[in-house]
Amino acid sequence: MDLSRIFKRKDGSYRVSSFSFFCISLVLLMFIAALAAFFFDVNGAEQTMVPDVRGTELPNALLELQVKELYPRIQLVYSNTEADKGTILSQDPQPGTIVKAGRRIRLVVSQGVVINTVGNYIGRQAEDVRMDIRTLFVPGSTGSKALLTVQEPFIYEYAPEDPGTVIQQDPAPGTALSGPAVLSLVVSLGPEFTEVITPNLVGLDPKAAADKLIQADLGFEFAIRQPREGEQANIVVYQEPSANSPTETGAHIYVLSNSPGLFEYTLPENPYPLTLSLEALPPNAGERTLLVECRFSGGNFTFPYSEAEGTTLILSQMGREIYREVVTGSQ
């Protein structure tokens, strides 16, 4: 088809139809839009300054980047000290660099130290060792095994060391770990039973009586009864065995007091006694008062109290709270 015959007038000039004009305008508009998009892409988003997140913890660093509309690319590495764990060791681009919003910032994050030798756990409490190993020797990825695990149950022997103290270990301290290993611990049960003389507890308040028994390396089992007429309240009124009786170390002495209330809680049996403490927190949330602290191997723990209504009694084992209850009016 000869287009010149369509657009050419009789006098030799050319005419442009409205449709042709529309097509040309559309092409021009598309060209202008493409040109604008190109320049917008070249200019990019708003520029921002890279913050300094080195030495900060990862959650705080991510918040700082979010404010600047920057995105992290995280790289995990081992470092020289456990204190670095979870903190930013380095970053790229460097702090102060001007970049476009939306830029990815590489963060090198410490995942702690590489522990590839067995530590020296002799002389430490076995429960503390168990917790440390669970914290330090964790699996590296899903489905992988921890580098070091503790053999359960512990091996127990009578020894001069305090009950619960690690007295031997295998592998020995400093042993290199080339793969997963099991740590065997020999734990002290304390000295073998020896004969002691039961102290006189009658007339003492429960805490003083418990302190005397603890000093003599004896346990206790408290019960209560109502005070009798003319009798001083909150004191020991009876004990079994009686004062000055010979008994074995570690034996439990039955103690009866005329205190208003009796705290009771049953703990799992343990091969050796663990530190147990009972505290009282006043209703006005003042300072805690220590009612008793002793070593207890498990079973039914009882201790008298004369605290006011609304007081919270808090039981802790090895420094970790395990139970609490509030004193009510009906004791």
Per cent of the chain over pLDDT 70 is 82
Q: What is the CATH number of domain 195-326?
A: 3.30.10.20
pLDDT for res 37: 60
pLDDT for res 177: 82
pLDDT for res 23: 65
SS (H, E, C) the chain: CCHHHHHECCCCCECCCHHHHHHHHHHHHHHHHHHHHHHHHHHCCCEEECCCCCCCEHHHHHHHHHHCCCEEEEEEECCCCHHHCCEEEEEECCCCCEEECCCEEEEEEECCCCCCECCCCCCCEHHHHHHHHHHHCCCCCCCCCCCEEECCCCEEECCCCCCCEEEEEECCCCCECCCCEEEEEEEECCCCCCEEECCCCCCCCHHHHHHHHHHCCCEEEEEECCCCCCCCCCCEEEEECCCCCEEECCCEEEEEECCCEEEEEEECCCCCCEEEEEEEECCCCCCCEEEEEEEECCEEEEEEECCCCCCEEEEEECCEEEEEEECCCCC
Pick the CATH number of 49-110 from 3.40.50.1470, 3.30.10.20, 3.40.50.970, 3.40.50.2300: 3.30.10.20
Q: Is residue 140's pLDDT more than 50?
A: no
Q: Is residue 13's pLDDT more than 70?
A: no
- Average pLDDT over the chain reads 85
**How is the chain split into domains, by residue range?**
49-110, 133-138+146-188, 195-326
Q: Each residue of 256-268: pLDDT tens digit?
A: 999 999 999 999 9
pLDDT for res 41: 52
